[in-house]
Amino acid sequence: MDTAAPKASVMRAPQPSAEKERVRVRIAPSPTGPLHVGTARTALFNWLFARQHGGTFVLRIEDTDRERSKKEYEDAIFEGLSWLGLDWDEGPSPDGGPDRGSHGPYRQTERTAIYRRYLEDLLERGEAYYCYCTKEDLEAQRQAMLDAGLPPRYGGHCRSLAAPPPGKKPQVIRFRIPEVTVEFTDMIHGKASFDAGLLGDQVIAKDLDTPLYNFAVVVDDALMEITHVIRGDDHFSNTPKQILVQRALGFPTPHYAHLPLILNPDRSKMSKRFSDVALANYRDRGYLPDAIVNFLSLLGWHPKEDHEVFDRAFAVEHFDIGRVQQAGAVFNEEKLDWLNREHMKRMPLAELASAASPFFAKAGIDTSGGGSPPDGGQDGTLLMRAAALQLSRAKTLAEIAESSRFLFDLPAYDPNLLVWKGNSVRHATASLTDAAAALRASAPGDFASRDALLQVLTPLIDARGRGAVLWPLRVALSGQAASPDPMEIMQVIGKEESLARIERALRGLASSSA
Ligand code: GLU
């Protein structure tokens, strides 16, 4: 593949050869906003298709809109795709093989000279022309068409000018749209047919150095030898325009697959402009990249066997572009929460703890102290036990951290909270004193098991009642009215810290009754 500017004459992209087609797909995001989950879904479907065919996945930054394109958004694309594990094969090395990292990603603003040559070629051959109509002219023409009861479109005013109109400057370059029916077969939607006559001559560039999307995309897809264009449904109506430009330039037409729109639960279209649908937002809220990949792959597709929780390798193996649905795909956050927890549960604990660790730091929770491991474990084991404890309720890594705060740092609380309903400070003090004695005398290893700890407390529970023992104990251990049960907490924070917290509760009760 050669993406360099053609030399003297315009280079034609190679026609499809008889040999088996090598799959080459691309994701072509515009860096004009945070990376949207919809773009991530398109990238994922392209990546799955490339990987399952041993093909190439190209990343092309479509930054022709210089005003709205920003470096930070480009960085967000790199970060987002890397975070999801969607590695791109940037381009071929000089010897023709894939060479990750040295040739890309492609940036349209670095390819102006290439587009210019193709624009010049179209102008020379009369397939494109300069349009001198000003905004006011266009508005007047539009009004005239409406008045005549015609659908408004560019009427071809400058199509056949023998010379530039005196005193007028070229405004844009238009592509001469032929009066034909454009047909193509979409891999998802099937046969499609458009009456090109309705389009009116399209603007393909502002000037020779400022091509627009529908032109640059055609040149790039051809020169990058893209075999399958997999993109959002919002580009479906651009396809006939692009096919006509391909034909005028002698380029082959790739296969097309237009993915269903992503919808809000009320079935309205999910806008790109809302920052809450930025991929980074999900990362920052503590969703795992594996869960997001799993979730995004189900936005418009699902495996044949009703398999819902799976990893990338499964998706690569089973993905089937032909089975992608046509109807819009609803973005259901509850499903994402469920998938995230399923993926958290399937992770080795050490990995889960290390994934959760930055969320503890972000929440300002110091995980370096806060408990003696019952099993003499090393650094990090408290974090692992905390994560395991929260798995049954937390939906995200951020929730694991937030709900584990008390395990690392006992919050200040009102000692009256220690008193079980209908009981007095004296009852709570007696119950906690007995509990501390029983726990202090427990056998080594009891703190490693919830059942063993319950056994230790059973005689007290039998004597005083469940609530009268477990309520003050739970508050002493957690400092809060709602928390996991006391045996589970003790298992996590260990014997030494548990006893220290009970002592602290007893001191609180003593001072409150003083
Ligand atoms: N830059 C376009 C977008 O972000 C790419 C469309 C395409 O894939 O052709 O929507």
For 267, what's the count of Cα atoms within 13 Å in the CB-facing half-sphere?
A: 2
The pLDDT value given to residue 1: 43
The pLDDT value given to residue 207: 98
Nearest by Cα to 96 from 5, 14, 227, 1: 1
The pLDDT value given to residue 77: 93
For helices 486-513 and 381-390, give the axis angle rounded to 10 degrees: 100
pTM tops 0.85, yes or no: yes
Q: Which residues of 347-371 are buried (b: 16+ CB within 10 A; e: fewer)?
A: beeeebbebbbebbeeeebebeebb
Write out pLDDT tens, residues 164-196: 999 999 999 999 999 999 999 999 999 999 999
The tokens describing 437, both together, are 């004695």
Taking CA atoms only, the protein residue closest to ligand 1 atom 4 is 29
The pLDDT value given to residue 103: 56
Helices (H), 204-253: 213-223, 239-249
For residue 29, the CA-to-ligand 1 centroid distance in Å is: 6
Taking CA atoms only, the protein residue closest to ligand 1 atom 3 is 29
pLDDT beneath 70, residues of the chain: 1-20, 90-104, 272-275, 369-380, 514
Q: Which atom of ligand 1 is found nearest the CA of 221?
A: 9
Nearest by Cα to 432 from 345, 384, 504: 504
How would you write 318-364 as a 3-class SS string? HCCHHHCCCCCEECCHHHHHHHHHHHHHHCCHHHHHHHHHHHHHHCC
The pLDDT value given to residue 264: 87
For residue 260, the CA-to-ligand 1 centroid distance in Å is: 14
Report the residue among 24, 25, 30 best suited for mutation to probe ligand 1: largest number of ligand atoms under 8 A from its CB.
30
CB 478 within 8 A of CB 406: yes
Distance CA 220, CA 13 (A): 10
The pLDDT value given to residue 376: 36
The pLDDT value given to residue 106: 87
For residue 217, the CA-to-ligand 1 centroid distance in Å is: 8
The pLDDT value given to residue 101: 52
Taking CA atoms only, the protein residue closest to ligand 1 atom 10 is 29
Ligand 1 pocket list (CB less than 6 A): 28-30, 62, 217, 231, 235
Residues noted as catalytic: 272
Report the residue among 25, 62, 215, 233 best suited for mutation to probe ligand 1: largest number of ligand atoms under 8 A from its CB.
62
DSSP state of 55: -
Helices (H) and strands (E) in the chain, counts: 17, 13
For residue 168, the CA-to-ligand 1 centroid distance in Å is: 33
